[in-house]
Structure 1
Amino acid sequence: MGIIAAVVVFGILVFVHELGHFLFAKYFKVYVEKFSIGFGPSIVSKKYGETEYLISAVPLGGYVKMYGEDPSADIPEEMKKKAFSHKPLYQRSLIVFAGPLFNLILAVFLFAIINMFGMPMLLPVIDKVQEGMPAFEAGIKSGDKIVSIDGIDIKYWDEMSGIIKKNPGKTLEIKILRGSEQLTLHIVPKLSKSKNIFGEEVRVGLIGVTPKDEFVTVRYNLLDAISKGFEKTYEVTKLTIVGIVKIFQKVVPADNIGGPIMIFQMAKETAQIGINSLIAFMAVISINLAILNLLPVPVLDGGHLFFYMVEAVIRRPVSMKVREYANMVGLALLLALMAFAFYNDIVRILHN
């Protein structure tokens, strides 16, 4: 079941990406010759209208082949209006950008689904209190429920934790519910060293408490769920970009880079946890796919967009010779990255 889930996840992500290119190409009246999920020899193919639809043997991506992609090709006069290379610059740019855009839209949609059908949220109820820490000194006990901090209502554990971490050394007025009695306590979070998600050492405030295993399922209506979907997509996109920058800065180890094997393993594991986890995983990978494709590397969507930016400045297409050399370099970089990702995947398997 887990392997099937992994194949479905990968297939959906590729399909949505290529669908973005395809729909925008069709909208701008470009002749689309082929729409393929996968590369290499075709396993299944069917022609509808002017386009051949394929499922190909190598399931590591997909492509949309449009007529006249080579700007130096000799295009018959009657076909120029349907040739990609003869479309206005803004149309070509939108067709290329549509793939990553559709991956981001998919992420919004998936996060919205999670919020509509319910997300388990940890309640701000105390389980254990660490001796010698601020919470213990202030008199907080197991079973206490945090109601508010400095006048801010607290519904979930993450809200409470976020405020405490941001305020080391500051006196906080914390209202708690103990049985039917409401108490007001004053606590100064202790300045402590911790690790953020990138493994960097940061200074945070801690009071020395752990949560009880009490959850509530939170559901949102359609509009609120979509709003939450946009918020989460923005948050994950920002974290992904920061993570890529930190890999180049050598803050995050390069062995964190994973390839298809890691994606299949994680899809299998999240599918076993539950449908919500699988959907969230798919959304995160969809965002990663969008950002990866927008990198200004020739052969990727971002590389094409970079050439179009140059074309907008110099008022003519970049010469085919320059593009060919750039594409060779870009392909070499991409193959090297894939090989490194596969190497990391294999090392992880051997060490587990």
Structure 2
Amino acid sequence: MNPVILFILGVAFVAVGVAASIALHEVGHLLPAKLFKVRVTKYMIGFGPTIWSRRKGETEYGFKALPLGGYVAMIGMYPPNKEDGGVRPSSTGMFQTLASEARSAAHEEVGPGDENRVFYKLPVWKKIIVMLGGPAMNLLIGLALTAVLLMGFGISTPTTTLADVSKCQVTEGESVDPDSAACKPTPAAQAGLKPGDTILTFDGKDAGTWAELSTRIRASAGRTVEITVQRDGRTVTSEVTPVLSSRPVIGDDGRQAKGTDGKPLYQEVGFLGIGSQTALVPQPASSVLPMAGENIKQISGVILNLPARVAGVAQAAFSSEPRDPNGPISVVGVGRVAGEVAAMEEVPVQARLATLVGLLAGLNFALAVFNLIPLLPLDGGHIAGALYEGVRRRIAKLFGKPDPGAFDIAKLLPLTYVVAGLLMAMGALLIYADIVKPVNLFG
């Protein structure tokens, strides 16, 4: 198939996946809100002008023109004024006006019989469940996709079948013509090993996994050992003598480790000159939670250092510096990566689909973690407000004081607008960087 068409299909796959993730995130808010009898007036995907909607019962469901998120509108998100029980403040200050307008909007659809169906009257624990529903839904989607990835597709795992056999011994960064006199054959080439051979035994023992085999090869420098391979349906036995060679130290993340000075680390180990083929190996159900936990841990690290990471993106976008492949990217960047993966015709279709599923799983984990940041207008901000309300009420009860009532989160709207502005600016910066200086994940 045409690579351009494959690229478009990859982008479309992620676009549909992102839209579905956003829609289900809002369902995570919608269901508990309706369960707790809060009147939900709107369930919308996107922002801006409505392009399609349909009313079912008391809720309008629809799509907006800008598919950059979604929202669920519940009546009575903010409590009325404490002073007069209304939605208008007695002061005309800027901050009070902002809170007043928000209260007015929150109460404009409150009708007769809705007095006990407003959000602000919910018990604290119910408020937390409603606001936690969105991130929880993304977490469940991420877990489900991780299960599909690990148990359905499997993990790309090195096998003991050879993908390549190096002809010449070379040091890091050097290049030697294999047909020249300067080419010193590798032990594997001298032993007659060929691509497609499957190593059965090494030094009289079963080859085991590629990692086990590599460990034994590295420990056998200078010692002649017997090696048995399967080639074209027959068994071939020969002898090899691994040579002592400087090889990269590989860390737990699969990348070359670096020292405290930032320089790549090497070690002197036994070397044959072989590379393995990889295969997708299905994993047990017990591997899903650890993999999801590791994914969430990495994403949390990026988010905890988000200001510094975004500054790094800005610096790279307006200079010649490369982008950090582990830094934040926008939906545009995710779509570009998905398109590149889909267009890799040299990679099996199953492996490409597995990568796209993993990409969506990671995206949902990122949505869950990001939305739990305790700042408005994110879900975590509303959860923090509910927790504060609960603590305040407990303290009042402990000291025999009157119930202070629902926390007026509308008072934090000025901060909310600042955070929202910063989030929009960050989104614009990431989109710009993903266009002019995209992350290079594939070399």
TM-score where L is the length of structure 2: 0.63
Task: Check the 8 A contact 2:310/2:426 in 1, yes or no.
Answer: no
Distance 1:251 1:37, change over 3 A: closer
Distance apart, 1:155 and its partner CA: 2.9
Q: CA RMSD in A?
A: 4.3
Aligned to 2:382: 304
Could you say if the C-alpha distance between residues 257 and 178 of structure 1 is closer, same or farther in structure 2, counting changes exceeding 3 Å? same
1:228 paired with 2:291, answer no
Q: Which ranges in structure 1 are unaligned for 5 or more consecutive residues?
A: none
Contact residue 145 and residue 357 of structure 2 kept, 8 A: yes
3-state SS of paired residue (1:62):
strand
Once the two structures are TM-superposed, the CA of residue 307 in structure 1 deviates from its matched residue by 1.9
The sequence identity of aligned pairs, in percent, is 25
2:258 corresponds in structure 1 to 201
* Equivalent residue in structure 2 for 1:275, among 343, 353, 363: 353
1:123 counterpart = 2:180 = no
Q: Could you say if the C-alpha distance between residues 54 and 205 of structure 1 is closer, same or farther in structure 2, counting changes exceeding 3 Å? A: farther
Alpha-carbon spacing, 1:39–1:329, altered in 2? closer, same or farther (3 Å) = same
Contact 1:194 1:201 in 2 (8 A): no
Rg: which structure is higher? 2
2:66 maps to 58
Q: Within 5 Å, which residues of 2 pair with 1:1-352?
A: 1-2=8-9, 3-72=11-80, 73=103, 78-119=113-154, 120-125=156-161, 127-128=164-165, 131=169, 145=199, 154-157=208-211, 178-179=228-229, 192=248, 201-202=258-259, 203=265, 207=269, 212=275, 214-219=277-282, 224-225=284-285, 227-248=286-307, 253-254=312-313, 255=316, 256-273=327-344, 274-315=352-393, 316=404, 317-320=406-409, 322-348=411-437
CA distance in 2, matches of 1:20, 1:233: 20
Render the CA deviation track for 1:264-311: whole Å, top value 9, x for unaligned: 222333344532222111111111111111122221112222222322
Deviation at 1:128, TM superposition (A): 4.3
Asked whether the 8 Å contact 1:43–1:56 carries over to 2, the reply is yes
AA at the equivalent of 1:238: K
Counterparts of 2:209 and 2:161, CA distance in 1: 10
CA contact (8 A) 1:93 1:305 kept: yes
- The question of whether the paired residues in 2 share the 8 Å contact of 1:270 and 1:281 is answered with no
User: Does the 8 A contact of 1:106 with 1:283 survive in 2?
Assistant: yes
In 2, the alpha carbon distance for the partners of 1:328 and 1:216 equals 50
Equivalent position SS for 1:214 = strand
Q: 1:27 to 1:321 in 2, by over 3 A?
A: closer
Give the whole-Å Cα distance in 1 for the aligned partners of 2:188 and 2:12. Answer: 52
Aligned length in residues: 337
Contact 2:14 2:360 in 1 (8 A): no
Asked whether the equivalents of residues 302 and 328 of structure 2 are also in contact (C-alpha less than 8 Å), the reply is: no
